[in-house]
Amino acid sequence: MGSFGKDLRKARLSHGVALKDITAQTKISPRYLEALEQENFAQLPGGILSKGMVRAYAAAVGLNQDEWTERFLRASGASRQETGDDNGWMEFASNVGKARSQRAGVMDLRLRWIGAILLLLVGIACAFLAVRYYGLRAGWWPSLLPNHAASGHELMVRVLSRIKL
């Protein structure tokens, strides 16, 4: 048996099908069809798309789709092992995972700081209100209002008299 690409081309020519006919029927770019026939698997999009192209090619020519898909997987797998293309994809996928986990970690850290700051502000507000309330009741917090009602003018005079310039 010959190579995958040569055999695929021979099968297409023996059935009398031109590449432009396959392109018209499958809507696959002639560049990809030529890459299949020349075994330039690095030019193909990869994964399930490449398998789909082989299946569509085989169907357009009238060949057994499963058989040609298996042959393609064997041929492309051997070429990937020689060139080491899968390492790049694996590295890319691991980098995406790391970036996502780092972003999640940064977001958790931000939320913790926001929560701590809000908790601190609530604590300060509660402490102020408690001191203000209990200080007024105990008599040691300065009050601007006397025991009897005062007019606005008298209140203003008292406020200004407490301010030391």
* pTM score, whole prediction: 0.48
Convert the pLDDT of each residue in 34-81 to its tens digit.
988 898 888 888 778 888 899 998 999 999 999 999 988 888 876 554
Query: Residues 120-148: what's their mean pLDDT?
Result: 75
Q: What is the pLDDT of residue 115?
A: 95
Q: What is the pLDDT of residue 13?
A: 92
CA geometry: angle at 157 spanning 151 and 161, to 5°? 150
- Superfamily name and number for 4-83: lambda repressor-like DNA-binding domains (1.10.260.40)
CA 24 centroid distance within chain: 36
For residue 137 the two structure tokens come to: 């009741």
User: Where exactly are the structural domains of the chain?
Assistant: 4-83, 86-165
Lowest mean pLDDT of 3-17, 45-59, 101-115, 151-165, name the range.
151-165
pLDDT tops 90 at residue 148: no
* Better pLDDT: 91 or 7: 7
pLDDT classification of 152: cutoffs 50, 70, 90: low
Please say whether the beta carbons of 68 and 12 come within 8 A: no
Q: What is the pLDDT of residue 84?
A: 47
Convert the pLDDT of each residue in 70-123 to its tens digit.
988 888 876 554 444 555 666 766 777 777 778 888 888 999 999 999 999 999
Please say whether the beta carbons of 26 and 56 come within 8 A: yes
